[in-house]
């Protein structure tokens, strides 16, 4: 089962007292769940690798990774038959240019988290439906 109740407020609230550790755990788990939903397709890099590459590229790689996360969520949603929006380009635009007014990263994180919850719920519906059918046939 994929976690479908991630919240931005929880991310913000727990990141500060844990000195950023919860932020790493949160994005690591989101990436892992997204990769689990896309077993056959191209997988996203582990978030720990993203942090290391971001250090080497002065933070640029994290922006690229964020675009790929939003894109993978949208693609997964389309594969499951649900519409997920806004798309990765819009989400990255909000993150990039919203940084100047400070709330851009919060809004883009909210969009990605909301879309991931939506996709996870749809994915879990199919997962629970298949296990229900298996129990009935047994």
Distances (CA, A) of 68 to 10, 88, 128, 132, 137: 23, 7, 28, 33, 40
Cβ count near 15 (within 10 Å): 16
Q: For residue 76, what are the contacts with CB-CB under 8 A and spacing of at least 6?
A: 34, 37, 38, 119, 123
Decide if pLDDT at 120 tops 90: yes
| Distance between CA atoms of residues 25 and 48, nearest Å | 9
Least confident of 59-63, 66-70, 110-114, 124-128: 124-128
Q: What is the pLDDT of residue 43?
A: 80
Helix (H) or strand (E) holding 73: helix 60-80
Decide if pLDDT at 53 tops 90: yes
| Distance between CA atoms of residues 53 and 37, nearest Å | 24
Q: What is the pLDDT of residue 133?
A: 47
Decide if pLDDT at 42 tops 80: no
pLDDT tens digit string along 82-119?
Answer: 998 888 988 889 888 888 888 889 999 999 999 999 99
Query: What is the average pLDDT across 116-126?
Result: 91
């Amino acid at each position: 089962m994929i976690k479908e109740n991630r919240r931005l407020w929880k991310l913000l609230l727990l990141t500060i007292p844990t000195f950023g550790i919860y932020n790493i755990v949160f994005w690591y788990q989101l990436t892992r769940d997204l990769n689990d939903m896309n077993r056959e397709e191209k997988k996203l890099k582990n978030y720990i690798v993203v942090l290391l590459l971001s250090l080497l590229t002065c933070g640029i790689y994290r922006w690229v990774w964020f675009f790929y996360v939003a894109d993978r969520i949208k693609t997964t949603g389309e594969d499951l038959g649900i519409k997920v929006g806004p798309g990765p380009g819009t989400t990255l635009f909000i993150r990039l240019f919203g940084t100047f007014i400070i709330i851009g990263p919060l809004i883009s994180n909210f969009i990605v988290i909301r879309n991931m919850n939506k996709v996870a719920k749809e994915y879990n519906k199919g997962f629970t439906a298949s296990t229900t059918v298996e129990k009935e046939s047994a």
